Structure 1
Amino acid sequence: MLTTTEKIANAARKLLDKEGVQGVTMRRIATAVGITPMALYRHYPNRDGLLNALADEGFAQLAERLAALRLTGSIERQLTKILDLFLDHAFERPHLFELMFLTRREGARQYPQDFRERRSPTANVSADVIAHAMETGYFHKDDVWEIVFETGALMQGLVMLYLGGRMAMTQGEFRAFCHRSFGRYFNGIRK
């Protein structure tokens, strides 16, 4: 049997997946769970706290999936596997992806300090591959975290353009476009 907190999170998750952040209201969640709106505040301090919990859960799931990746093959193959996992995450739950990466929220990790201090399990995986590529001479020596942040921005920007209907492509065509875009970026930093 689910706890009330779990029921609230499930209802919020369903609203987020269906309608995006704007669809997640305390009143609608309370109705879905069968409690009063005021009762929600015993479990979450406010709507932002609930949205933060959903984003944190999304990051934990993504980090778990990244940790399970078998990163073998060339540097670019490893980085493409990471990109594909992010794309899978965006396609599976586009509104959650937007909440995680593009919605301003309290406590979200910030560049550069949080990243340089390795507080981002989802960025650390790419950083390790890129650092190894620099150490072995595959990529030019540069600032690892700037490269991680730039490639993240490239991926997130392309995803939001695609999800926003600005790219007339199938998911497969879009994925191939992302692979080519990242290939062009890697060509610029390859030694």
Structure 2
Amino acid sequence: MRPPPATPASRHRTASEQVGAALLDAAQAVLDREGLAAVSVRAVAIEAGVAPMGVYNRFQNKDGLLVALAVRAFDALHAAVDVEHSGEAPGDPLQRLRQSCRAYRTFALRHPEQYHLMFSGVSSLASPSPAAKHGTAVLQVLVDTIDSATRQGILHAAEPVEAAQMVWNAIHGAVTLELASLNVTLKRHGFEPADTYDKMLDVLIDGLRRP
């Protein structure tokens, strides 16, 4: 049976949603251009061309604005790493895992200020933070991919959740060091960060293959 036709409300954002999206667009522009320290209710209001009260009415305060911005960033990161549903995902779960991990790095390098915000104190992943379920959705992509490989006998991860967390720990650490330019020793010795990152993925996956 075909689904019912979309209603006007489902086709278009409501006026309230449009206002919220426009304010987040403005906040993201300030964040990307000037960094996290520059994001304030006043700066976002100026960027959006509205009175500061318009920002307060929508997000209550600066922290509410930053949490909403972090949620949006986590959703974008989730879309990037969720290669299984991208329409071009390889059938091999190990290749999907590699692609997801590479997409994670690419997102962080393209959006360093958003990445910094996502893991700042205001957007803690500890429940019941509003950002928690959006952040853990990224981890769930890794869990599902590792679980698929384990069920097929390709990996021997006893607990996919634990294995996925270890992978996330590794890729997050590598990306954070790269963003902070703390991997300069690699370049001094002629190593490319992208190549070293791929070698790290080799080590991680080889470890998960072991019984």
8 Å contact from structure 1 (residues 135, 141) kept in 2: no
Displacement of 1:137 after TM fit? 2.5
The answer to whether structure 1 residue 103 and structure 2 residue 120 are counterparts is yes
Q: What residue in structure 2 maps to residue 86 of structure 1?
A: 104
Shift of 1:183: 0.9
- Is the alpha carbon distance of 1:119 and 1:26 closer, same or farther for their aligned partners in structure 2, counting shifts above 3 Å? closer
* Number of the residue aligned with 2:146: 130
Contact kept in structure 1, 2:117 and 2:123, CA below 8 Å: no
Percent of aligned positions that are identical: 23
- For residues 87 and 118 of structure 1, do their structure 2 counterparts lie closer, same or farther at Cα, with a shift above 3 Å needed? closer
Deviation by residue 1:100-143 (Cα, 9 ceiling, x = unmatched): 2x212357355xxxx9x998332222212211222232222422
Secondary structure of the residue that 1:140 maps to in structure 2? Answer: coil
Alpha-carbon deviation of 1:186? 1.8
Alignment of 1:61-80 (within 5 A): 61-65=76-80, 66=82, 67-68=85-86, 70-80=88-98
Task: Tell me how far apart the structure 1 counterparts of residues 52 and 30 of structure 2 sit (CA, whole Å).
Answer: 16
Matches within 5 A, 1:12-161: 12-65=27-80, 66=82, 67-68=85-86, 70-100=88-118, 102-105=119-122, 108=125, 120-161=136-177
Q: What corresponds to 2:196 in structure 1?
A: 177
- The whole-number CA distance in structure 1 between the counterparts of 2:208 and 2:87 is 24
The residue aligned with 1:8 is 23
TM-score by length of 1: 0.82
What SS is found at the alignment partner of 1:70?
coil
Structure 2 CA distance for partners of 1:126 and 1:163, relative to 1, 3 Å = same
RMSD of aligned C-alpha atoms?
2.9
**CA deviation after TM superposition for structure 1 residue 150, in Å:** 1.3
On the 8 A contact 2:156/2:209 being kept in 1, the answer is yes
User: Unmatched 5+ residue regions in structure 2?
Assistant: 1-14
List runs of 5+ in structure 1 lacking aligned partners. Answer: none
Change (3 A) 1:118 1:54: closer
Deviation at 1:173, TM superposition (A): 2.2
Runs of 4+ in 1 over 6 A off after TM superposition: none
Determine the C-alpha separation between the residues in 2 that align with 1:158 and 1:75: 22
How many residue pairs get aligned? The number is 185
Larger Rg: 2
Task: Give the Cα separation in 1 of the matches to 2:135 and 2:200.
Answer: 27
Q: Greater relative contact order: 1 or 2 (C-alpha under 8 angstroms, separation 6 or more)?
A: 1
Q: Partners of 2:62 and 2:195 in 1: how far apart?
A: 37
Distance 1:151 1:69, change over 3 A: farther
TM-score for both structures, normalised by structure 2? 0.75
